[in-house]
A = this chain, B = another copy of it.
Amino acid sequence: MKLNQATDYAFRAVYYLSGLPKGQLVEAKLIAETEKIPLRFLLKILRSLAAAGIVESYRGVSGGYTLAKEPREITMKDVVEAVEGPIELNRCLVDPGECNKNHTAHCPLHQALFSIRQTLNKELASYNFADLGKN
């Protein structure tokens, strides 16, 4: 069970942007070089981050990217969800029809998984990009 590589790159990109003066634009190319991320792939990831309202993009000659909100307002959970969608943990947490036993409500495994997912989400949400740098 792991996060995918795109998510890792997204973490790095957002972390990089968090270290910049508020509102400063940076081209994808520079982020890519600094963070050693394939440029084309990074552009794709940045589009997801933009769609999720984490990053703002500006086109044209001196365009680039900047954070759409304060680093403190962006959590690791936000980034994960922007890139790979919500954490599912298990098919049957998403679609009860997928549960081949089909008695979700009184399935103790389901209950445990539900609670584990919740813990994981909370944990991811507890890290914001302002605090990440410090310590």
Which applies to chain A's interface (DSSP): helix, strand, loop or mixed? helix
Q: A37-B100, A100-B37, A119-B120 are in contact. Are A112 and B127 (CB under 8 A)?
A: yes
Number of copies of this protein chain within its complex = 2
Chain A interfacial residues counted at CB < 8 A = 35
**Is A1 at the interface (CB under 8 A from chain B)?**
yes
Scoring A residues 2 to 27 as 1 if CB is less than 8 Å from chain B, else 0, what string do you get?
A: 11010010011001000000000000
Enumerate chain B residues within 8 angstroms of A43, measured Cβ to Cβ.
none
Residue in contact with A89 in the complex, picked from B1, B89, B92, B100, CB distance below 8 Å = B1
What separation, in Å, do the CA atoms of A133 and B112 have in the docked complex? 11
Of the candidates B2, B92, B119, which one forms a contact with A87 in the assembled complex, judged by CB atoms under 8 Å apart? B2
Cα distance A127–B36 when bound, in Å? 40
> Counting CB contacts under 8 A, is A108 at the interface?
yes
